[in-house]
Structure 1
Amino acid sequence: MNSDMIVEGELVPVAARLPGSAGSRPTVERLAAAFLLSHQGNTREAYQRDLAHFAAWCARHEVDMLAVTRAHLDAYTEQQRRDGAAPATISRRLSALSGFYAYAVEEGVLARNPAARVRRPKVGDNVQSTGLSKEEAVILLDAAEAHSPRTAVVVQLLLLLGLRVSELCRARVEDLGYERGHRVLTVTRKGGRRQRMVIPPRAIDALERYLAGRDSGPLVATATGRPMDRHAVWRLLRRLARDCLPHLADRLHPHDLRHACATLALDAGAELRDVQDLLGHADPRTTRRYDRARHNLDRSPTYAVAGLLAGRR
Structure 2
Amino acid sequence: MNWGPHELVDDWLAARVYPPVTLTGYRADVGAWLDHCRTTDTAWDKAAPGHIALWAHVPGAPHRRTARRVSAVRSFYAYALDRGAVVHNPAERRPGFTNPAQLSPATLDPRQIAVLLAALDERGEHGGGRTRSRHPHPLQDRACGYLLVGLGLRAALVTALVLDDLSTDGTIGLGADTLRLPDPSGGHHLVPLPPLVREAVNAYLPHRVPPRDPARGGPLFTGRTGAKMPQRHPHDLLRSVATASGLLSAGGVSSPVRGHAHT
- For the superposition of Structure 1 and Structure 2, which TM-score range results when normalised by the shorter chain? 0.3 to 0.5
The TM-score, its normalising length taken from structure 1, stands at 0.36
Q: Which has the larger radius of gyration?
A: 1
**Higher relative helix content:** 1
